[in-house]
Structure 1
């Protein structure tokens, strides 16, 4: 898992939440989700795993599932829930 944000700054602080996301198939998908979720306030890092269909988001506090779902959906993908 990467600790780096889209602007290449790094942080090891925070809480990481992993989400299942459907519709991701290529590098463009990865770049789009990294950019869109990484732009949210409180998000320190994003890691997109295309093969697993998962997005890991490291936040400074509790992750806002509803906001993340809206951003992912608006980008053209579907956040289907947290990984157990």
Structure 2
């Protein structure tokens, strides 16, 4: 396992060019269940999308996550509605801020 450093500015790369576009995540597959769209601030690149997706994917019941840095939206599919405080904690752990539902 490697250590990750996340900038306190809310972005992993401070807005520098990490690549042109997002890299599809293994959790981008649409699955049945409850779909909720959240607004997250601070994502600027594919790495940011991956960090947020990884943390939210670890929540119980989550079956799919798609984060889009450009819009700041994170679409989460889960077996049942998620506790927003748990989603907020996961986004915070990734180094970003959950604004609320989109």
TM-score (ref. length: structure 1): 0.83
Contact 2:30/2:77, CA 8 A, preserved across alignment: no
2:97 maps to 78
Aligned residues: 78
Root-mean-square deviation (CA, aligned residues, Å) is 1.8
Superposition pairs of residues 2-81 of structure 1, within 5 angstroms? 5=27, 10=29, 12-81=31-100
* Structure 1 stretches of at least 4 aligned residues deviating more than 4 Å after TM superposition: none
Unaligned runs of at least 5 residues, structure 1: none
* Cα deviations by residue, 1:26-48 (Å, 9 ceiling, x for unpaired): 11101111111111110000000
What's the secondary structure of 2:98's corresponding residue?
strand
